[in-house]
Amino acid sequence: MSDAPPQAESLSDLLTRRSEARSKDDYDTVIATSRALWQRWSATREFDQLHADARAERGHARRSDNTNYLALSESAIGLALLRRKEYDDAATSFRTATKLFREVDNDAELAVAEHHLGEVYQNQGNIDAARRHFQAALGTFRSKKAALWLAKAHIKLAETYALTDDQTRQHYKEALTALMSAKRAGEAGECAMRLASAHAATGDTKTAIKLYGQAAQVLEHSKTFRLLAKCQAELGALLATTGKIRESEFQWDEARSTSMSLPYDPITAVADISIALLWDEQARKSYQRPAIVAHAAHLLLPAMMYLTVVHEERKQAWNPTLKTLLTWSVTALPGVDNGPLRTALRDFAHLHDITLDAEVSRPKGTRKPYTPVVFTSIAAILSTIKDVPTPKLTPDAFATPLHSALEPYASAVLRRYPNSFPGAQAEK
C-alpha cells in the first residue's frame, strides 16, 4: 500500500471494474483496482472511506483464501488508522500485514508496511523501534531502486535524530539524491530546505544559505509556490540572525510577494513583522530612528493581530512570541501621543493572559527597543504556523472595542491580507 497520487480513472469506473473482475475471479484486476482506489482515498485524505473499503476487501480476501490480497488489505487498514492517529490499532494491522507479506515473499509491499510501522513507532515516541523498521525498509527500497520510497525512508530516519546530528544531514543528503534521480522537483526542493535547516542548526550558515538559494530556484521552477514562500522566509530569517540585514529584507519581500499570490498563507503577515523589525535594525544609528521605529510598529501591529487570530487554537505555542512582539511595540512607541496606543496594547496583552516585561532584554549601552533579540522569535513563528490548520477567518474576528486605539490596525488586517478572507470585500 502506498501514498502514491491517484490515477485519472473515475471512482465509479474503478468500483465497477473491481466488481466485474470479482465476479470472474480475476483477482489480478481486483487487486489492481483496489490499489488505485486506496491510493485515491489516501491522496485525498479520505481515510474513513479507505478504512471502510479495505475492511470490506479484507473479508473478500479471506473468503477467497488470497493471502497476498489479505496482506494488502491489512496494510491499507493500517495506513488509514495511522493517518487517523489510531496508532495502537495501526501497529496491529501493520504487524499482521508484514507477517502475511513474508508468507508470500512480497518484499516490495513488506518494505512499505515496515516503513509505515516505523511511522507508527515514531509517533508513539519509540524511536529505536522506528529506526529499526525504517532501516529494514530502506534496504529493500534501495535494492529495488524505488527512489521515491527510498527518499521517504531517509527523511523519516533523519527526523529521528537531533537537527544538529551528523546522521540527520547524511540522511537528508541521501534523500535529496534519490528525489533528484526520481525527478521530483517539489519534494527535492523541500528536502533541500530541511538539509539547509540542519546545516544552519550546526552553525554552518554558508552552506545553509547556499542550499536555501538552490531550493528556492527548484521550487520556483516547479511552481511549488507555497513551499517557495516558506523557503524564502526561512532564508530571510537566517540572514537576519547572521547580520545580513539588507539581504534579509530582500528575501522577506520576496516571501511576501510569493505568499500574497496564494489563497491563504500566513507567511504574508510574518514577512510584514520581519520587514518592520529589519527597518529598525537598519536605522539603529540613525537620528531619525524614533520615527522609523514608530513606522515599523504600525506595520507590525496588523500582522501581529492577524497571527494571533490564526493561532486561536494554538495559544500555548503562540503566546511567548506574542509577548515578545507586544513588549517590543510598547517600547517602540514612547511619548504622550502614543499613550492611548500603549494602553490598548497592554489591554490586548491582558486579554490574552500575557504580562508584559518592562522592555525586550538588551545589552548594556544599546538603544531601546533592542531588535536583534526579537529575530529569534521569527523562527519560532515559522515553526508554529506549519502546524496551524487553515482557519475560517472572518472580518469580525478582528473586531476591537469601539474607540480603541487598536481599531485602525484591526481594520488594516482586511486590507493587508485580503486573500485570507474568501468573499470578503477589502476596504479600498
Check whether residue 138 and residue 277 sit in a common domain: no
Quickly state the pLDDT bin for 422 (edges 50, 70, 90): low
| AA letter at 212 | Y
Whether residue 299 contacts residue 261, with contact meaning beta carbons closer than 8 Å, is answered with no
- DSSP code of residue 4: P
| AA letter at 363 | P
Residue 275 backbone class (left: φ over 0; alpha: ψ -120 to 50; beta: rest): alpha
Q: Tens of pLDDT along 170-183? A: 999 999 999 999 99
103, 125, 144: which is the final residue of a domain?
144
Quickly state the pLDDT bin for 366 (edges 50, 70, 90): low
Extended beta strands in 360-419, E state: none
Check whether residue 128 and residue 270 sit in a common domain: no
Q: Tens of pLDDT along 9-67? A: 889 999 999 999 999 999 999 999 999 999 999 999 999 999 999 999 999 999 999 99
Our count of domains for the chain comes to 2
Is residue 378 a part of any domain in this protein? yes
- DSSP code of residue 419: G
DSSP string across 273-295: HHHHHHHHHHTTT-TTHHHHHHH
Is residue 117 a part of any domain in this protein? yes
Is residue 239 a part of any domain in this protein? no
Enclosing domain of residue 298: 265-428
Q: Could you identify the residue written with the cell 520587514?
A: 275
Is residue 229 a part of any domain in this protein? no
106, 123, 144: which is the final residue of a domain?
144
Dihedral over alpha carbons 317, 322, 325, 326 (to 10 degrees): -160
C-beta neighbour count of 127 within 10 angstroms: 14
CB under 8 Å to 376, separation ≥6 — which residues?
Answer: 241
Mean pLDDT, rounded, of the chain = 89
pLDDT at 184: 94
DSSP string across 194-207: HHHHHHHHTT-HHH
Record the cell numbers describing residue 424, joined without a space.
Answer: 470578503
Q: What angle do CA 153, 156, 160 make, to 5 degrees?
A: 135
Is residue 301 a part of any domain in this protein? yes
Q: Percent of the chain beyond pLDDT 70?
A: 90
Is residue 99 a part of any domain in this protein? yes
CATH number, domain of 90, equals: 1.25.40.10
- DSSP code of residue 286: -
Check whether residue 124 and residue 270 sit in a common domain: no
Which of 287-296, 335-344, 398-407 has the largest mean confidence?
Answer: 335-344
Nearest to 46 by CA among 87, 76, 9: 76
C-beta neighbour count of 308 within 10 angstroms: 22
Check whether residue 131 and residue 269 sit in a common domain: no
CB under 8 Å to 98, separation ≥6 — which residues?
Answer: 110, 113, 114, 117
CB under 8 Å to 36, separation ≥6 — which residues?
Answer: 6, 7, 9, 14
Is residue 212 a part of any domain in this protein? no
| 15-19, 111-115, 262-266, 272-276: least confident range | 262-266
Check whether residue 285 and residue 423 sit in a common domain: yes
144, 178, 196: which is the final residue of a domain?
144
Record the cell numbers describing residue 97, joined without a space.
Answer: 500485514
Is residue 344 a part of any domain in this protein? yes
Q: Tens of pLDDT along 70-79? A: 999 999 999 9
Residue 301 backbone class (left: φ over 0; alpha: ψ -120 to 50; beta: rest): alpha
Q: Is residue 423 predicted with pLDDT exceeding 80?
A: no
pLDDT at 428: 32
